[in-house]
Amino acid sequence: MNTTNPQRPALIFDMDGVILDTEFLVRRCWHMLAAEYGLHADDLDPVFLATVGTTRVYTGEIMRAHYGADFPYEQFDRHVSRTFHAIADTEGIPVKPGARELLAWAGQAGFRIGLASSTREVTIRRELEHENLYHCFDHIVGGDRIARSKPYPDIYEAACRGLDVPPQDAFAIEDSYNGIRAAAAAGMRPVMVPDLLPPTDEMRALCHGIFPDLTAFRGFLAQQFPS
């Protein structure tokens, strides 16, 4: 990584829906498998959206609360994972617009760059290395490294410790409500770049800023923290 500038805030990114365009693909897998597991398409999206930004464990809790304690979540989760990777291996996982450019610019400009994703670290590494983005991050925390998932602040607190930065001196770049809540609870500066979930009044109250895409956020950073 490039030499960091301690006068600049840190940038800590979520991965799914922010760096990689994975959320659409996961939702596609849910719909592909819904009938096999007795799930109804008309109420599938609200349940799926409630899980965005959380770990597999918390997703299981949400699904069992909605579909019943006997819902075979572990089997469903493994099936979704196999289907996801089969599609990803064939079609690839798109990088979100502006992500490569923002990460390259921020590294050159001396920002400390972290990643705090509910995805397991082995998957994070595989997916980011496949897109030649893994080297862009100074510190990475995966969902399997923490006890409590977003919306709890644990993962962002861990990421700030890993970068040796006070939470108030770090932006958290998120697309999900749970991620924004986690960053706010950690005392950071939450930034929302919407993906599947639109901004709400709650998000506007919690966020330092809401940007239509990462290119717009990069423009904000360049204006606020000129070289």
* Per-position pLDDT tens, the chain of length 227: 446 666 799 999 999 999 999 999 999 999 999 999 999 888 899 999 999 988 888 999 999 999 999 999 999 999 999 999 999 989 989 999 999 999 999 999 999 999 999 999 999 999 999 999 999 999 999 999 999 989 999 999 999 999 999 999 999 999 999 999 999 999 999 999 999 999 999 999 999 999 999 999 999 999 999 97
Structure tokens at 149: 């998932």
CA distance 215 to 174: 14
Domain-ending residue, one of 76, 91, 106 = 91
The residues that are catalytic are 14, 16
Question: Is residue 88 exposed (0-12), middle (13-18) or buried (19+ Cβ within 10 Å)?
Answer: middle
Asked if 198 and 111 sit in the same domain, the reply is: yes
- The count of domains in the chain is 2
CA 141 and chain centroid, separation: 11
Asked if 213 and 132 sit in the same domain, the reply is: yes
Asked if 109 and 149 sit in the same domain, the reply is: yes
Asked if 119 and 49 sit in the same domain, the reply is: no
Asked if 187 and 102 sit in the same domain, the reply is: yes
Domain-ending residue, one of 37, 67, 91 = 91
Asked if 109 and 45 sit in the same domain, the reply is: no
In this predicted structure, what is the pLDDT of residue 3? 61
Helix (H, G, I), strand (E, B) or coil at 157: helix
Contact by Cβ (8 Å): 159, 12:
yes
Tell whether omega for the bond before 199 is within 30 degrees of 0, i.e. cis. Answer: no
Q: What range does the domain containing 45 cover? A: 23-91
Asked if 201 and 137 sit in the same domain, the reply is: yes
In this predicted structure, what is the pLDDT of residue 30? 97
Length of the chain: 227
In this predicted structure, what is the pLDDT of residue 6? 62
Strand partners, 141: 116
Nearest to 194 by CA among 56, 60, 24, 57: 24
What CATH number should be reported for the domain holding residue 185? 3.40.50.1000
In this predicted structure, what is the pLDDT of residue 1? 45
Kindly report the pTM of this predicted structure.
0.89
